[in-house]
Every structure is written in structure tokens, then in C-alpha cells.
Structure 1
Amino acid sequence: MPVRKFIISVIALALVVVSGFVKSENVLTLEAALGAAVQNNPSLARIKAAAQALAAIPSQAGALPDPVIGFNVMSLPVDHFDTRKEEMAQIGFGISQAIPFPGKLTLREQAAAYEAQAAAYNEDELRLSLLSDVKTVWWQLFYLDRLLEITDNNRMLLQQLVDIAGTKYEVGEGLQQDVLLAQLELSKLLDRKIKIDGMRSNAVAGLNALLDLPGNIPVQLPTKVALQLPDIYDDQTLYRLAETYRPLLASERERVNAAKSKLDLAKREILPDFNVNAAYGARDNMPDGTRRSDLLSFGISMNVPIFYAQKQAQGVSQSTSELMRERYALQDQWNGVRKQISQAGNDYRRAKEQVSLYETGIIPQAQQTVASMLAGYQVNKVDFLNLIRSQITVYDFEAQYWQAFAEANQALAQLVAATGKEDIYE
């Protein structure tokens, strides 16, 4: 078979495969997958509900305790139960109100508000993590689709090589072992396809789980995406972005603020709380009609912290340790964020360089090698084993190209999640 005819047949085969993908309906783009995840993911909905619940706490923490209303009968004679015959007998009504020392309620409300804001940032953090997970699985699925595509293409090409080897063998110009070798490689490709199909099914199940769908729902991705990989900021710039925009760090800072408010509150616990009460006692007139005055009472009480060393002082010590714990947690999270950024940035730059190398150098050179070897084999100047090996090498390089491309996009997803900002490009 002439080289030109072989190349034309390869192009036609690729067009047939691509057209088969394009005709599929219900293509799930990356944007659609991200939107569905944010809308439907139950984990995100759970965190959102928790944040809404905590947002209702600050006003409760800052409110005064409910007043207490009481009713009583005083000095009621038990021999006749006649309130007119006992001068001190009265029916009383009272109300009391507990009043914390000034500033305590404000600090309680403040601490609760910081914790509620931390929970809101947790929702943002989970959203970033969810979107990163969706992108990672989506690009893995895209890679597996491309791997299936080039596997099918190479299977067709190997079949053509089998036909060529068979024709040469029939006319006495080739060897039977060439035919057998090509058939063996075809079987290996079929084995690869089975494995890839299994990996794709697992990836589909993972993506569907993130979208709150049954794992066996079919997923069809687009066959064409933008192939350009942008340049990203250096690590120091990405660190600064994360310090400003990463919800995880903002949440930890709010927890530090909450711990500070709780420490201030613990220091105020030595100050007494008050209880103000008022009571009204109604008395009946005497049996002879003499009027008795009703009685009005007022009172105020306060707690006395005589167990300061065992209670309030220990509370201050506890709150101090909790504040230090939150500060250490913030520093630990900051170190983790910088690690994530550096690792994802390194992965992206490495994958981007690999994509460029495969696209501009390795794959075109490998394809030229196959074309040259095919021409040589047809005139008995190239061994069939080397021809097969060269075609398998092209397959491997094409697979590595798409793997590097997917890994670059996955690293970008991780960088966006690590910095908390979409715009990380120069």
C-alpha cells in the first residue's frame, strides 16, 4: 500500500471516529458539570445548612435571659383559709430579670458571630473543593475518552498492517510470523481497551456521585476542548492570592477572633451578674371593711465568685489554651496551603512542558518514523517487527500527550482551589 494512501486512510478513520462522538446527545461540558455539582451536591447542601444554623446563634447569644414571672400566696392561715382574717395574708405577683455584667452579652454575641462567619467560609471552602474534585474527575474522564479513541485508531491501523503483511505473505514476499505478530498486537490493544473501559466506568461513577446522580448513568463528554495551556503566576504571587482569597484561611482567622472574644469573656466572669426582681402583693380588706394596703417589693441580688481559683481562673486558663490552639491551627493551615500551591504549580509547569514537547516534537517525529518504516517495509527494506514497534510507540506517545494535558488541567483545578481565586494567570 503506498504511503500516501495509508495516510489518507488514517485521516478518514479519524474523521469517522470523531463524527461518531459528535453525534452523541446530552454532552456534559465542564461548565455544566460544575453547575450541576453546586446545585445538587448533598455535602455542600449539608454544610450550607450548618452555616445557616450557626448564623442564627449570635442574636440568641446577645439577648438577655427570659424574665421569670411568678405567682404566690403568702401567710395563708390553714385553719380557715380566710385571707381577710390574717393581716399578712396576700396574693402576690412578681417578675425577675437576670442581667449579666455589662459587656458579657456583647462578647458572647461577638464570639458566636465569628464562629458563624467561620462556618460561612467553610461553605465557600467546600465549594472550592467540590469544584476541584469535579474538574479532576471530568478531565480524567476526558483523558480516558481520548485514550479509547486513539486505541480504536491504532487498532484499525494495525488491522491494515495485518492485511499488508497477509498480502505479502500470500505472494511469497512476507513471513507468516509477521501476520501472527500483528494479530498479537491487535489482541493486546483489545485487552487495553477492556481495561480502559473499566477505568472509564469507575470515573463515570465518581463524577455522577459528585453530581448526586446514580453511578450507572451514562456520561458523554465533548470531543473538542481548548488545547491552549496558559502561563500561571509564580509561587509568591499565588501565596499572596491565597492569603487574601482562600476561605480556609479566612475561616481559621475567624476562629482565632472567636477564641479571643471567649478569652475576654472568661476574664470578665469574675465580675458579678445581677438579678433584679419586683413583686406586688394584693391583700383583702378586713372583715369589718377596713381597707388594707397592697404591698410592693423590689430587690436586687448578685453572685459572689468565692470559688474563683477553681472556676473563673481555670476558665481563663482554658480559654488561653484554646486561643493558642487556634493560632497554631491557622499557621498549620497556612503551611499546608503553601505546600498545595507549590506542588500543584510544579505539576502544572511539568505537564505543560510535556504537552508542548509531545505536540511539537515527539509525536510528529514518531509519526514520520512510522510512515518511513511503512514505505520501507513495502519494499522489504524494513523488518516488520520494527514497523509494529514504531506504531505502538506512536500510540504510547499519543496516550502520554493526553495524559499530560489532563494532568495540566487537573493541576490548574487544584491551584484554583488552593488560592481561592479563578484568575491565577499572567
Structure 2
Amino acid sequence: MNVRFLIGLLFPFTAFAQSQPLTMEGAVQQALQQNKGLKSASVAVGYYKELVRTSGELAKTDVNLQYGQTNSYVQDNNFSVSQAIPFPTVFGARKQLNQVQVDKAVWWKAVTQNDLVYQVKQTYVQLLYYKELRVLLQHQDSLFSDFVRTATLRYKTGESRMLEKTAAEGRMNEIRNLLRQNEADEQIYLSRLQALLGTTEPVSLAASGIPAVTIPALNDTAAVAANPQLQYLRQQVLLAEKQKQLFRASILPDITVGYFNQSLVGTPANAAGALATSGTRFQGFQVGLALPLWMGPLKAKVRAEEKQQQAAALQYDNSMITLQSQYGQAVQQFIKQRNSLDYYQTTALPNAALLLQQSAKSYSSGDIGYPEYFLNLEQALTVREGYLKTRNDAKQAELYIAYLAAHQL
């Protein structure tokens, strides 16, 4: 019995999952579920959410026992408990800071996801380009193989020179070398797709051709405002602001509260003059303030965080300008490729098909020689290669626009 068939019977779901070709959307969904980088970003969100619960953290409670001759030669004991508490505004400032860290982690996850979706789609489309290029090169190989056979026959019958046969063989070998290079490129991008999907299992594509472009290009630079990278950088500004508020609140005095309970053997225990024994207890409470005597370093922290906030704000502004520029360039690139597509579809491709057809007939009938046929053949095939490359470039430009606007197709 066939081993693969037996495995399919024993583990039908696993066998199906590993062999099922992926659509582009299926690849995206698998990456969102399995990519380790995105999972790491998700865990980081949980980490900062847990930190919010530490906003009310207090210093450890100080519990002391004192035993010895504190009042006379008799052994006395003293039990005391004290607690340092930050000024109440510190708790609020700390919670706000922790919440901004949560928001920052959430936006970093969004940045990671936006990058991941773009890379998966970019890689998927590039693989489709190589698949179509392989078909085109195989067609060229077939054409030049026929050319070689015809040139060889013409050389044997004395109708042509060795140069015609040599040129045809040279071009055929060049195309076969391109096929080998294309196969290597496919394997490179398949490995890249595997890494993005978070799997080591072989992957295959359900689609066979580059998808058509689907969006009109609008030169709206405000579209980048939704890019999660900008939202993440905005959180950096807020984080510096909240950190500054926490440093400022930390300058205020800490509050100390305490309680003690002790023995004072031999000390008058009441107005009647009775002396305290070891069972007589004296107790009291303590309230105090911990004041910062040296304010310079604490104020320096606040000023340093102001500089950090300014730097974060400038970084945000710079990223906004950069993204707007990149968006505008991407739109112009898309328009250029779309216009080029129109040219190929309406003019270049029909002319190339006619040129290829007429040249083949004329060469077979002897109306034209090999130099003219060779030139016409190269021209027609160059048009087809240019059209395929333009389709890929146009789709990649469209994907990049969607990435910059955080509106994945």
C-alpha cells in the first residue's frame, strides 16, 4: 500500500492541512495565527496589562522586635510595625503611566501585524510573478527550440550558415539558464513565506497568476494618519509626559505610619505608683513625613523627561512627514505602472502577438532571414516580459499604498 495513502487514512486532517494550497487571504490568516513575532507582541500586551495592577504597590512593611535592657537591668521587649506610603498623587500618576505602556504595546502589536500582512502579501504576489515568469520562459524555450531545429535543418541543407544555428542555440541556452535562476528565486521566496507563516512545512499557492489591481490611486496624504507606526510614536510622546508627571509627583513627601507595643518593667504604670511588670504593655502610634532634602536630582529627572518628550514629539513629526512622502511616491509609482499597463494591453501586446505570428510564417516560408526573425522574436518576447513585470510592479505598488494607509487589501 502507498505510504502517503496510508498516512492520509490514519491522519486525514494533518495530511490535508499540509497539502492544501494557500490563497493569499489564507496565507495571511495562517500568518496571523502562527507567526512568532506577532505572538510575542501579543504576550507583551498581556505583560503590560499585568503591570497596571502594580500601580498601588507599597514598600515592604517594616516589622521590628527589640529585646534587651532598654529601661533597667530587667530584660524588656519592643514590637513595632511601620509602613512608608508614597504621596497619594503618585498612585494615580503610576497607573496612568502603566496604562500608556499598555496602549503603546497594543499599537506595537498593530505595527507588527500591519508589517506582517504586507510582507505575506508582497511575498505571495512575488511568488505568483515567478510562477508566471516560469511559464513565459518555458514558452520562450519552446520557441527557440523550434528555432534551433529549423536553423539546424537549414544549415544541413545549405540554406543558412553556422552563425544562424549558433545564435539560436546560444539564446536557447540563455533562456534555460534563466529558468534555473527563476526556480532558485521561487525557492527563496517560498522559504521566506514559510518563515512568515511560522511553519517548516512545505507550502504551495492556490493562485496561478498575479491578481489585478483593485483600488483607484488617490493622492490623499492624510491617509497615513491611520498608520499604526504613527499611533505607536504618539504613545511614546504620551509615555514621556506620564513619566514626567510621575517624577514630579515623586518629589512630594512620603508618609510614614507606625505602631509600637513594648514593656517597661519597673516603670510607674499608673498614677497610684504601681510599677509595671513584664505583663504590662505600653503602646502608641507614629506618623511622619519623608522629605527630600536634596531636590536637585529629582528636578533634573523632570527636566530630562521634558527633553525626552520633545524628542519623541519631533520623531513623531518626522515620521509623519516621511510617511506622507512615501505615500505620495507610492501613489505616483502606482499611477505610472497603471498607465504602463494600459499601454501594454491596448497597444504593445496586440502588436507583439501579430509580430510573432507573421515573423514565424515569413521565416518558415523564407521571406525573411534569421537576423530579422531573431530580432522580431526578441522584440515580441521583450514586450511580454515587460507586461508581466509591470503587472507585478503595479500590484506591489498597490499593496504598499494599502500598507502605508494601514488599509490592507
For Structure 1 versus Structure 2, the TM-score category normalised by the shorter chain is 0.7 to 0.9
Contact 1:93 1:279 in 2 (8 A): yes
Q: How far apart, CA to CA, are the structure 2 residues paired with 1:400 and 1:220?
A: 26
* Distance apart, 1:198 and its partner CA: 2.1
* Distance apart, 1:61 and its partner CA: 2.6
Cα deviation, 1:256-300, whole Å, max 9, x if unaligned, reads: 1222222233333432111111122256799x9976642121111
* Distance apart, 1:402 and its partner CA: 1.9
Helix, strand or coil at the partner of 1:104: helix
Contact 1:278 1:298 in 2 (8 A): yes
| TM-score normalised by structure 2 residue count | 0.85
Helix, strand or coil at the partner of 1:60: coil
Residue 294 (structure 2) aligns with: 307
Helix, strand or coil at the partner of 1:311: helix
Residue 208 (structure 2) aligns with: 224
Cα deviation, 1:68-97, whole Å, max 9, x if unaligned, reads: 333333645896xx54xxxxx2x3333222
Q: CA, structure 1 residues 206+290, in 2 after alignment: closer, same or farther (shift >3 Å)?
A: closer
Match for residue 223 of structure 2 among 241, 245, 260: 241
Unmatched tracts of structure 2, length 5 or more: 1-18, 268-273
Q: State the AA in 2 paired with 1:127.
A: Q
Residue 181 (structure 1) aligns with: 167
Contact 1:282 1:295 in 2 (8 A): yes
Match for residue 284 of structure 2 among 288, 297, 309: 297
1:85-124 aligned within 5 A: 89=76, 91-124=77-110
Residue 53 (structure 1) aligns with: 47
Residue 271 (structure 2) aligns with: none
Unmatched tracts of structure 1, length 5 or more: 1-24, 84-88
| TM-score normalised by structure 1 residue count | 0.81
Helix, strand or coil at the partner of 1:232: coil
1:79-158 aligned within 5 A: 83=75, 89=76, 91-158=77-144
1:387 aligns with 2:387: no
Cα deviation, 1:206-254, whole Å, max 9, x if unaligned, reads: 222222334xx65432353474312334232xx33321x2211111222
* Distance apart, 1:191 and its partner CA: 1.5
Helix, strand or coil at the partner of 1:421: coil
1:275 aligns with 2:256: yes
Q: State the AA in 2 paired with 1:258.
A: L
Q: How far apart, CA to CA, are the structure 2 residues paired with 1:290 and 1:335?
A: 80
Q: How far apart, CA to CA, are the structure 1 residues paired with 2:346 and 2:406?
A: 33
Q: How far apart, CA to CA, are the structure 2 residues paired with 1:246 and 1:359?
A: 34
1:405 aligns with 2:409: no
Q: CA, structure 1 residues 218+358, in 2 after alignment: closer, same or farther (shift >3 Å)?
A: farther
Contact 1:55 1:117 in 2 (8 A): no
Q: How far apart, CA to CA, are the structure 2 residues paired with 1:313 and 1:159?
A: 81
Q: How far apart, CA to CA, are the structure 1 residues paired with 2:202 and 2:384?
A: 26
Helix, strand or coil at the partner of 1:420: coil
Q: State the AA in 2 paired with 1:104.
A: V
Q: How far apart, CA to CA, are the structure 1 residues paired with 2:110 and 2:25?
A: 18
Q: How far apart, CA to CA, are the structure 2 residues paired with 1:258 and 1:227?
A: 42
Q: CA, structure 1 residues 227+305, in 2 after alignment: closer, same or farther (shift >3 Å)?
A: closer
Q: CA, structure 1 residues 132+55, in 2 after alignment: closer, same or farther (shift >3 Å)?
A: same
Q: CA, structure 1 residues 388+320, in 2 after alignment: closer, same or farther (shift >3 Å)?
A: same
Contact 1:370 1:390 in 2 (8 A): yes
Residue 28 (structure 1) aligns with: 22
Percentage identity across paired residues of the two chains: 18
Q: How far apart, CA to CA, are the structure 2 residues paired with 1:290 and 1:273?
A: 36
* Distance apart, 1:128 and its partner CA: 0.7
Residue 39 (structure 1) aligns with: 33
Q: How far apart, CA to CA, are the structure 1 residues paired with 2:290 and 2:275?
A: 44
Q: CA, structure 1 residues 108+122, in 2 after alignment: closer, same or farther (shift >3 Å)?
A: same
